[in-house]
């Protein structure tokens, strides 16, 4: 598969003209290194996972930084975070020089602590997730968006097995001293069965025979390494008693399918997990759309104790909100928009847009009007449809 330009690229290029350093975080194998090496081909490259190089850096970090040819790409900087202090010193000696330090990291929280302590005001920070539908139509609920999976879909299951092994041995052990990786692997499988559900730590702990604090620690590891999204409930109270637990989603639906034992697109069609997998796909595309535009992640769900539930509430600036319901069917009906319309009616003072997102069919994508002002869009149209600047082409959906 030939190179696919990333939507985040213009934001990174612009930041390199304004900041001394640019940092790109995200899950392992999402394409961070490829993005920076494509954007800055003249930069020297240093992979900070090579044991010999890491040993040399730790023996004399000052010398390593002083001898480095800039601009420089430092890949997986979280392995030697002590370098950040020396990079800061180099930046401060020539503050007018921009775009000389290009860093990647696979563990967001530890890396961000180092940035806040060492690089505040000196670095622009971005988060890159796997490929999105607007970047390539090959992204799907079954395959997900990891570039190497999309390049060789026939070997997807082997790739995911290898990915999990590498993830467990490198990322997980780097974040926490977990003795029993097999228990953590079982935890991943159990968490996959809870995708799209409100987080209940006790339900996760029970089948594994571990404590609730252990589950909390393991969930934190998955968040730190960008494997899951914890979507919080929408915080406004519209005269309703609201549910307060977050919802759990995996970042990549392809990895989710692998953890669920779904080995083909045909198997996914027959799976009882089709709905949750598609909801994961929609959640991931929403967040990718935000991050690829250089914006912070901002997505919620709504559920009250009377049973009104809407999958996603997405701020669109000011007092505007996009309400999104994900349906795994390819055919949608006006009645399915009822939760969207009920919530929109309750959100006094907000300008709302209601979208019912369904799986793509063979027909040419087109936004369809449902009853009461809601619209039906295919998953392939989602990125443009929930952008408040978009003006989708609309036709009436037949009842």
Percent of the chain exceeding pLDDT 90 equals 67
Longest dimension (CA), the chain: 71
How far is C-alpha 271 from the chain's CA centre? 24
Identify the bridge partners of residue 353 per DSSP, sorted by sequence position: 322
Q: Would you place residue 399 in the very low, low, confident or very high pLDDT band (cuts 50, 70, 90)?
A: very low
Taking only the tens place, the pLDDT of each residue in 294-341 is 999 999 999 888 888 999 999 998 889 999 999 998 888 888 899 999
- Whether this prediction's pTM lies above 0.85 is answered by yes
pLDDT at position 240 over 80: no
Percent of the chain exceeding pLDDT 70 equals 91
Query: Given this model, what pLDDT does residue 397 score?
Result: 40
Nearest residue to 198 via CA among 101, 86, 305, 94: 305
**Are β-strands 72-75 and 309-315 bridged in parallel, bridged antiparallel, or unpaired?**
unpaired
Q: Report the half-sphere exposure of 198 (CA within 13 A, side-chain side).
A: 11
pLDDT at position 148 over 50: yes
Asked if residues 145 and 283 have their Cβ atoms less than 8 Å apart, the reply is no
Task: Please tell me which residue, 280 or 363, carries the higher pLDDT value.
Answer: 280
- Residues recorded for the chain: 399
How is domain 9-127 classified at the architecture level of CATH?
3-Layer(aba) Sandwich (3.40)
Reduced 3-state DSSP string for 170-199:
HHHHHHCCCCCHHHHHHHHHHHHHCCCCEC
Query: Given this model, what pLDDT does residue 367 score?
Result: 54
Would you list the domain boundaries of the chain?
A: 9-127, 147-229+248-274, 308-396
Query: Given this model, what pLDDT does residue 391 score?
Result: 43
Query: Given this model, what pLDDT does residue 238 score?
Result: 60
Q: Would you place residue 365 in the very low, low, confident or very high pLDDT band (cuts 50, 70, 90)?
A: very low
pLDDT at position 395 over 50: no
Query: Given this model, what pLDDT does residue 331 score?
Result: 83
Query: Given this model, what pLDDT does residue 363 score?
Result: 54
Query: Given this model, what pLDDT does residue 384 score?
Result: 63
Mean pLDDT over the full length of the chain: 88
Asked if residues 347 and 238 have their Cβ atoms less than 8 Å apart, the reply is yes
Taking only the tens place, the pLDDT of each residue in 164-202 is 998 887 788 777 777 788 889 999 999 999 999 999 999
Q: Would you place residue 241 in the very low, low, confident or very high pLDDT band (cuts 50, 70, 90)?
A: low
Asked if residues 27 and 128 have their Cβ atoms less than 8 Å apart, the reply is no
- The position carrying tokens 């008693």 is 241
Q: Would you place residue 398 in the very low, low, confident or very high pLDDT band (cuts 50, 70, 90)?
A: very low
Asked if residues 20 and 101 have their Cβ atoms less than 8 Å apart, the reply is yes
Rounded CA-CA distance 198/189 in Å is 17
> Phi and psi of 121, rounded to 5°?
80, -5
Q: What is the mean pLDDT of residues 253-274?
A: 97
Query: Given this model, what pLDDT does residue 2 score?
Result: 81
Taking only the tens place, the pLDDT of each residue in 7-66 is 999 999 999 999 999 999 999 999 999 999 999 999 999 999 888 999 999 999 999 999
């Amino acid at each position: 598969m030939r190179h696919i330009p990333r939507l985040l690229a213009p934001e990174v290029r612009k930041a390199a003209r304004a900041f001394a350093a640019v940092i790109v975080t995200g899950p392992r194998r999402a394409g961070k290194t490829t993005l920076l090496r494509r954007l800055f081909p003249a930069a020297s490259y240093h992979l900070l996972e090579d044991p010999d190089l890491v040993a040399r850096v730790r023996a004399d970090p000052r010398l390593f930084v002083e001898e480095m040819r800039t601009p420089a790409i430092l890949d997986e900087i979280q392995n030697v975070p002590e370098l950040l202090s020396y990079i800061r010193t180099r930046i401060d000696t020539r503050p007018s020089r921009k775009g000389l330090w290009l860093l990647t990291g696979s563990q967001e929280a530890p890396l961000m602590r180092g940035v806040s302590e060492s690089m505040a005001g000196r670095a622009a920070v971005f988060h890159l997730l796997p490929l999105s539908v607007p970047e390539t139509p090959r992204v799907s609920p079954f395959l997900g968006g990891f570039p190497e999976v999309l390049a060789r879909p026939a070997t997807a299951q082997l790739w995911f097995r290898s990915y999990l092994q590498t993830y467990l041995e490198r990322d997980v052990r780097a974040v926490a001293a977990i003795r029993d990786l097999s228990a953590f692997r079982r935890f991943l499988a159990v968490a996959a069965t809870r995708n799209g559900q409100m987080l209940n730590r006790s339900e996760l702990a029970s089948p594994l025979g571990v404590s609730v604090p252990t589950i909390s620690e393991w969930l934190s590891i998955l968040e730190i390494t960008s494997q899951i999204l914890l979507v919080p409930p929408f915080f406004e109270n519209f005269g309703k008693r609201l549910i307060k637990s977050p919802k759990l989603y995996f970042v990549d639906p392809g990895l989710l399918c692998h953890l669920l034992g779904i080995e083909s697109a045909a198997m996914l069609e027959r799976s009882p997990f089709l709905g949750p997998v598609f909801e994961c796909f929609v959640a991931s595309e929403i967040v990718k759309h935000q991050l690829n535009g250089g914006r912070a992640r901002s997505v919620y769900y709504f559920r009250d104790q009377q049973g009104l539930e809407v999958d996603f509430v997405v701020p669109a600036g000011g007092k505007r909100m996009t309400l999104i319901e994900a349906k795994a069917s390819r055919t949608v009906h006006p009645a399915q928009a009822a939760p969207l319309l009920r919530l929109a009616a309750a959100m006094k003072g907000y300008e709302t847009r209601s979208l019912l997102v369904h799986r793509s069919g063979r027909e040419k994508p087109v936004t369809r009007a449902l009853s009461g002002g809601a619209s039906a869009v295919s998953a392939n149209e989602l990125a443009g449809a929930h952008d408040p600047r978009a003006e989708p082409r609309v036709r009436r959906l037949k009842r």
